[in-house]
Amino acid sequence: MQISGAQMVIEALIAEGVDTVFGYPGGAIMNVYDEIYKQNSFKHILTRHEQAAVHAAEGYSKASGKVGVAMITSGPGFTNAVTGLADAYMDSIPLVVISGQVPMSLIGTDAFQEIDAVGISRSCTKHNYLVTDATDLARVLKEAFYIASSGRPGPVHVDIPKDVTAQIAEFDYSVELNLETYKPHTKGNPRQIKKAMEAISKAKRPLFYLGGGIINSNAAYDVRELVHATGIPAVETFMARGTLCHDDELLISMLGMHGSYAANMAMSETDLVIGLGARFDDRVTGKLSEFAKNAGVIHVDIDPASISKLVKADFPIVGDVKNVVKEMLESVSLINPSKYESWRDTIKNFDSLHPLTYHEDTDRLKPQWVIQRVGELLGDSANISTDVGQHQMWTAQFYPFSRPRQFISSGGLGTMGFGFPAAMGVKVASPDKVSINFTGDGSILMNCQELMTAVEKKIPVINIILNNNYLGMVRQWQTLFYNKRHSETDLSVQPDFVKLAEAFGGIGYRVHTKEEFDAALKDAVEKNIVTFIEVVIERLENVMPMVPSGGSLFNMMLLERKEKK
Amino acid sequence: MQDESARRVISVIVVNEASVLSRITDLFSGRGYNITSLTVAPIPESKYSRLTIVTSGSIRVIEQITKQLHKLIPVLKVYEHADLVEKEMALIKFPISENITDIATLCAAYNGKIVNVGDNVFIAMVADEPKRVENLLKIISRYNPKEIVRSGAVALER
């Protein structure tokens, strides 16, 4: 079939089963947009900023498990998208991002809207391509989708010069992929798995350490089975929230810098860490030399480079966590769940000593209450996105997650401005669930232009702005570690968030009380239009408990106890 | 105990394609690893090239470098050499006034010879193990070399 490069892009997207593309047109990508105009196999969602297009594709991918697709133009279109690429790279989100480039004849001449896009994206993508001939397009796009979604997933960037999208050439998408140099290990070594299971059966205080890889490999329900069959307690990383249901007896909580006391103490006391798809991130481990100091380490990961990168693994298992967990289940009879009863009791004691909680001791609403309240009212019927900061940690701590892919947040890169566009992508992928974005008064302004996209495309994201008039997380560090010098974090000067939402055609609420909040949320869910619910919260609330940066997990700053009146 | 920052030689087989060298060097700079020398040339009658990278680091760092290199899509194989034959070439330019016989004899001891003689300068070549090349360069410093070019090491597993 002889078609143009631009048509090839469309044909490839259709062949990959893409139903939604997020993007923003411009000069160098116009040929492709002309073909988008002519087709109706997939929908295109015009965001109002390229960064938002990529974040929306990420949200779409995280909620659906499919590859997210974003399309942008050259130069500034591309550079705006870089934050999204980096975010997806850090959190292993499969994306294919297609950018226009100036024509081949102009590359290297500092042409209008020219930038060395693949040079920039090299360090923040799993792989990238500059396509110099349309005859390569079928192979490149097919490889891009395969590389993005296989092994440890990640974003793949494809840069296409304008003359290549105009070039007529033969197109055959049935080309066989022949990637001699890329063969991800998906099946774990059976002998290693057996050894690991034997080690677990001998351990006295083993602990599951569940990571985001479980969500990526759709292994959450297998992991639930393994946890229940073994009776071994589990901690979740931020990225793994929802792997176990919030009311699971064996789920301790999240661990790490803002993890619960019980989770961090369990990690400090365990004699065998069973790491599944987790990467021992610095926000999880605290001081490395003190992390799980007396424990052996089983580490299951699809990325060999993640194993023994920070914490030496005694039982390294390279493989897809789903395959490995299934194989572990086969020899699960080795393990006697009743053996760990006193260990489970120890952990329960940790939890009753310093439970994850907060004090309702001020006139203003507490952010934790708001999050718990949304959990009570919407629970499983909502998907929860967040921006980055205090509200993000409170959400991870207090929302009752009940399933994988329910929680969508920027973990590795910590990108403010991620939440709203991501929540749009989540809503598009999962229209039957309410899409909530917990955000802060700092973060929301970093992509608030997406109100326009949400209004135009009728994507009813409910943004709950926990407004403390501070860049809260930085303010918290300044309070605790910089002797209360609140340098440039006071956000007292603010827009009228209600009017801002209304100016775009959305709905805005400002609430001060529990009753007002309940009424606003109920109304927002019913009206089914993009919403800002601004919740005026206690200004100086801190995220607690906290492991100070570089400190040991067992050395936490804890919530002050209050005498009951 | 091995030295924390011992010298290591890594060979990388990569697909010959645009920007593959940048992928490798970006990985080193992005993750804070050192490159002491790097040589690259196509492998005859194949679509691959071979890079020889001399670097330094602890066993742990080298293990990470090897794994990270492996993660790059166009990388076929990564060898961290233990038992290898290693050679490096150097070209040295001397003023014509220097003692050409002495220099020729010295170079011969290091697998080398005089390769070019001009009106004002002559050029000697040596090809030997990198350590020996270093040694020679020390010795010939008394003959006032005007310019020295080293190729970087190439290596093959025994």
pLDDT in tens, B107-134: 999 999 999 999 999 999 999 999 999 9
Closest CA to A151 of A331, A408, A323: A323
pLDDT at A516 over 60: yes
From B95's Cα to the closest Cα of chain A, the distance in A is 41
- In a domain, residue A20? The reply is yes
Task: Tell if the CB–CB gap between A303 and B73 is shorter than 8 Å.
Answer: no
Mean pLDDT of A117-129: 97
pLDDT at A564: 53
CB of A118 within 8 Å of a chain B CB? The answer is yes
| Claim to verify: residue A195 and residue A297 sit in the same structural domain | yes
Considering chain B, what percentage of its residues have pLDDT values greater than 70?
Answer: 97
A166 and A220 together in one domain: no
For B107, the enclosing helix (H) or strand (E) is helix B100-109
Q: Is A372 labeled as catalytic in the residue annotation?
A: no
Contact by Cβ (8 Å): A156, A12? no
- State the nearest Cα–Cα gap between B60 and chain A, in angstroms: 8
- Return the residue in B31, B43, B64, B71 with the most chain A beta carbons within 10 A, the one to mutate for interface testing: B71
- Do A119 and A31 have their domain in common? yes
- Res. A555: pLDDT tops 60: yes
Query: Could you tell me the pLDDT band of residue A311, with boundaries at 50, 70 and 90?
Result: very high
Average pLDDT, chain A: 97
The pLDDT tens digits of the residues spanning A255-281 come to 999 999 999 999 999 999 999 999 999
pLDDT digits (tens, 9 = 90+) for B15-73: 999 899 999 999 999 999 999 999 999 999 999 999 999 999 998 899 999 999 999 99
Q: Which of the four pLDDT bands, split at 50, 70 and 90, describes residue B4?
A: low
Q: In chain B, what residues touch A148 (CB-CB under 8 Å)?
A: none
Share of residues in chain A with pLDDT > 70 (%): 99
Pick from B3, B103, B18, B119: nearest CA to B58: B3
Q: Report yes or no: A141 and A71 within 8 Å, Cβ to Cβ.
A: no
Q: Are residues A35 and A147 in the same domain?
A: yes
- A340 and A372 together in one domain: no
**C-beta separation of A126 from A155 below 8 A:** yes
* Cβ contacts of B68 on chain A, cutoff 8 Å: 305
Q: Which residues of B touch A (CB under 8 A)?
A: 14-15, 18-19, 22-23, 26, 30, 60, 63-64, 67-68, 70-71, 73-76
Q: What is the reported pLDDT for B151?
A: 95
The pLDDT, as a whole number, for residue B80 is: 86
Single out the residue in A113, A141, A170 at which a domain terminates: A170
Which of A353, A385, A403 is at the close of a domain? A353
Domains contained in chain B, CATH given: 7-82 (3.30.70.260), 85-157 (3.30.70.1150)
Does the residue A182 lie in any domain? no
> In terms of CA atoms, which chain B residue is nearest residue A132?
B18
Q: Do A147 and B73 touch (CB under 8 A)?
A: yes
Residue A450 placed within a domain: yes
Q: What is the average pLDDT across A510-519?
A: 98
Does residue A113 carry a catalytic annotation? yes
Answer yes or no: A208 catalytic.
no
Catalytic residue among A162, A322, A366, A427: A162
- Over residues A331-371, the pLDDT tens digits come to 999 999 999 999 999 999 999 999 999 999 889 999 999 99
One-letter amino acid for residue A108 of the chain? G
Whether A58 is catalytic is no
Query: Where in the sequence is the domain holding A480, given as residue range(s)?
Result: 367-536
Least confident window among A14-18, A152-156, B8-12: B8-12
What's the confidence (pLDDT) of residue A481? 96
Mean pLDDT of A494-523: 98
Give the DSSP per-residue string, A445-505.
GGSTTHHHHHHHTT---EEEEEE-SB-HHHHHHHHHHSTT--TT-B--S---HHHHHHHTT
Note whether residue A512 is domain-resident.
Answer: yes
Same domain, A396 and A528: yes
Active-site option among A42, A66, A113, A287: A113
* Contact check, Cβ <8 Å, A126/B73: yes
Verify that A342 and A221 share a domain, yes or no: yes
Put simply, the answer to whether A179 touches B73 (Cβ < 8 Å) is yes
Measured distance CA(A15)–CA(A3) in Å, rounded: 15
Is residue A176 a part of any domain in this protein? Answer: no
Give the global pTM.
Answer: 0.96
Chain CA centroid to CA A446, Å: 17
Q: Is A92 in the same domain as A156?
A: yes
What mean pLDDT do residues A476-488 have? 97
Q: Show residues of chain B in contact with A147, CB under 8 Å.
A: 73
Question: Would residue A546 count as lying in a domain?
Answer: no
Q: Active site includes A473?
A: yes
Q: What is the nearest CA distance from A83 to chain B, expressed in angstroms? A: 17
Please answer yes or no on whether B22 and A119 come within 8 Å at the CB atom: yes
Is the domain of A306 the same as that of A371? no
Q: Which residue of B has its CA nearest to A309?
A: B64
Same domain for A487 and A371, yes or no, is yes
Asked whether residue A562 carries a pLDDT value surpassing 90, the answer given is: no
CB contacts, 8 Å: B30 with chain A: 123
Catalytic residue among A1, A38, A43, A112: A112
SS3 label, residue A199: helix
Q: From CA A314, how far away is CA A317, in angstroms rounded?
A: 10
Q: CB distance A180–B76 less than 8 Å?
A: yes
Q: Which of A254, A424, A473, A546 is catalytic?
A: A473
> Considering its fold, how many domains does chain A have in total?
3
Q: Choose the closest CB to A122 out of B23, B63, B68.
A: B23
- The answer to whether B18 contacts A130, with C-beta atoms less than 8 Å apart, is yes
Q: What CATH number has the domain bearing residue A431?
A: 3.40.50.970
Burial B70-103 (b: 16+ CB within 10 A, else e): ebbbbbbebbbbeebebbbbbbbbbeeebeeeeb
Is A289 at the interface with chain B, CB within 8 A? no
Residue A362 lies in a domain: no
Residues of A in contact with B23 (CB under 8 A): 122
Asked if residue A505 and residue A406 are part of one domain, the reply reads yes
Residue A563 confidence (pLDDT): 61
**Are residues A212 and A163 both part of a single domain?**
no
pLDDT at B1 over 50: no
User: How would you classify the pairing of strands A251-254 and A296-301?
Assistant: unpaired
Residue B2: is its pLDDT beyond 60? no
Q: B15 and A181 in contact by Cβ < 8 A?
A: yes
Residue A558 in any domain: the answer is no
What's the mean pLDDT in A403-412? 98
Angle at B104 between CA B98 and CA B105, to 5 degrees: 115
Q: Where residue A290 sits, what CATH number does that domain have?
A: 3.40.50.1220
Residue A24 has pLDDT above 80, yes or no: yes
